[in-house]
Chains A and B, each alone.
Chain A
Amino acid sequence: MALVDLANPTRFLNFTERALPWLAAATIFAFAIGIGQALFVAPDDYQQGATVKIMFIHVPSAWLGMFCWSLMSVAALGTLVWRHPLADVAAKTAAPIGAAFTFLCLFTGSMWGRPMWGTYWQWDARLTSVLVMFIMYLGLIALWRSVEDPARAGRAAAILTLVGAVNLPIIKFSVDWWNTLHQPASVFRLGGPTIHPSILAPLFAMAIAFTLLFLTLHLAAMRNEILRRRVRGMLLLRARAQESRAGG
């Protein structure tokens, strides 16, 4: 099946039916390896002790929170420029998942910050910009819920999503541009990672597991949204038929 065929919702539903069991199995397998490595193989950090284990959840959650907004931004272009039939479905269903991962990033960061920094929260540039992203996720979800027509809601949300994308480089480079309590980039940076391979390997294992989880949840949520729009269409059809019978 060509990728372009997935633009057809019925073909997309057939694809999800076949792909979801495999993706779910791969996610479970990846988490078994990732959690095993994170909790039982990775050594304690020489300064942070066992609290470094929080990083194996915190960092993948942060990456996914940002990846999800990036994906929604591409989908927003798909809605506004190419009018792709599944673009706003993809964006709408990614938002709650992105919000959940961003919340998890903030919460686990707080749990890590208290023992290491001596505080649960600090209004520094990195933490604040991630909090702004979380609030924007909530705003997008509220926007989709407040507009009845999915097409109109999709276009409005696409504009807000593209405006919010400005925050992504701010989050990424906040630790370089401002003096923050949050540490600078230590994985994706010029000159290579500064993390020891014994801790980096479990981090990548968990990142793969979280990414597979995201793909599984997103595909399933997109399938649900397509079904919801079919239900809506059928309800409208029934209402029109009842109205014309009553009028005639």
Chain B
Amino acid sequence: MELGPHAIFIVAAYGAAAVIVASLIAWVVLDFRAQKRMLGDLEAHGVTRRSAGVKEHA
């Protein structure tokens, strides 16, 4: 693959695309883990989504 005299611009464009896509993937994966962890913590403390279910275990 020969990129010619403007290779730096082509590499910069593809590099930026890779960084942005990787950042978006990291954002959804890390956010999912954080929300699951918080839900797990709350449920472990007896908090449920139903109004009757608040029983703090301390």
Q: Which residues of A contact B (CB under 8 A)?
A: 39-40, 44, 49-51, 53-54, 57-58, 61, 96-97, 100-101, 103-104, 107-108, 111-112, 114-115, 213, 217, 220-221, 223-224, 227-228, 230-231, 233-235, 237-238, 240-242
Residues of A within 8 Å of B42, CB to CB, are 231, 234-235, 238
- Encode contact with A along B28-41: 1 for CB under 8 Å, 0 otherwise: 11011001101100
Using CB atoms, name the residue of chain B closest to A55.
B13
Majority-rule SS of B interface residues: helix
Which of A103, A223, A234 is in CB contact (< 8 Å) with B20?
A: A103
Complex formed: what's the CA distance from A48 to B28 in Å?
A: 37
Majority-rule SS of A interface residues: helix
The answer on a CB contact under 8 Å between B10 and A224 is no
The answer on a CB contact under 8 Å between A54 and B9 is yes
Known: A57-B13, A58-B13, A103-B20. A224 touches B4 (CB 8 A): no
Q: Which residues of B contact A (CB under 8 A)?
A: 1-7, 9-10, 12-14, 16-17, 20-21, 23-25, 27-29, 31-32, 35-36, 38-39, 42, 45, 47-49, 51, 53-54, 56
Complex formed: what's the CA distance from A227 to B34 in Å?
A: 10
Quote the shortest CB–CB distance from A44 to chain B (angstroms). 7
Complex formed: what's the CA distance from A204 to B30 in Å?
A: 31
Complex formed: what's the CA distance from A223 to B36 in Å?
A: 11
Known: A51-B10, A57-B17, A103-B20. A44 touches B49 (CB 8 A): no
Known: A50-B7, A51-B10, A224-B31. A108 touches B39 (CB 8 A): no
